Chain A
Amino acid sequence: MNIGQSYFWAFIVGGLWCVLAQLTVDLSGMTPAHVMVAFVSLGAILSGLGLYQPLVALGGAGASVPLPGFGHALVTGITQQMEDKGTLFGLFSGGLSATAIGISAAVVFGYLMAILFTPRGKR
């Protein structure tokens, strides 16, 4: 796949995930928070069924940046560490290891932003 195609499929796959989430919010009346939780779990389930890896192969960042990709990262992280370091160790360490950078960055920068900025209209 050349560079242009990778951008094209990232746009399409990522956009379609977001349309699916938007439809769920608009048609079922679930809150955005509920849909975010549901889609992470959905990603983990699709990953377990072996369906998410092909989507990543096609969509690249379009499949790994939306939250279902977070669920996929959890499952692949667990599977990988179970093979490398043993079943129990991997089961409880693999998921958070694979997603550690994202979570740590969010917490550290979240804290930093809270110190630096005050939300608009709430001064």
Chain B
Amino acid sequence: MGASKGAGAARNGSGKNAGGGRSKTSRPASSRPASPKEQKKYQKIAQQARPRPPVLINCIKAFLTGGVICLVGQGVLNYFIRIGVKPPDSGGPLAGVMVTLGALLTGIGVYDVIGKFGGMGSALPITGFANSIVSPAMEFKREGYVLGVGARMFQVAGPVIVYGLVTSVVVVLIKMAVMALTGKS
């Protein structure tokens, strides 16, 4: 549920500031409205009270989680190379195995636990990409198999594929242009 939940949290977060001013005017008439000075003071206090992420601990957790997932990936990769798959051809099968693992762990609810501990350490590996597809697919089953499962699957994976593809095509075009201009082939 990691990534899709994160997107939801962000939507709530951006709405918070817009609603802040309005809630003051809708207070009961008996209490006097706060002066701008008081409002500023309140906002300062609220700013300080907002929990700051424990950056160092989060980074250590992300490092361990991401490291262990890549360790598993390296085990799979070493196995492929041992059975004779050429390293350039191993990327696809490796991604397939890792995605399958991520999907299964999401299905049985284990990846959510890993995600809560690992943060981006569980979201950035391709297992997290699988999680971002499987998690909304399961969650939106109640909205039906076409507009629920079928459509919501790509809530996060869609943008990842869209921007990945567009960027890679543009990158290759720029590389071709640079090569043509500098005369290298």
Contacts and interface: CB of A to CB of B under 8 A. Distances in A.
Interface residues of B, number: 89
B58 A17 contact: no
B139 A21 contact: no
A14 to B, nearest CB: 3
Nearest to A64: B91
Interface residues of A, number: 78
Contact of A71 (B74, B103, B138, B164): B164
Interface of B: 1-4, 6-7, 9-10, 53, 55, 58-59, 61-71, 73-78, 91-96, 98-100, 102-104, 106-109, 112, 118-121, 123-130, 132-135, 137-139, 141-142, 145, 149-150, 153, 155-157, 159-161, 163-165, 167-169, 171-176
Interface of A: 3, 6-7, 10-19, 21-27, 31-37, 39-41, 44-45, 47-48, 59-62, 64-67, 69-71, 73-75, 78-79, 82, 87, 91-92, 95-96, 98-107, 109-114, 116-120, 122
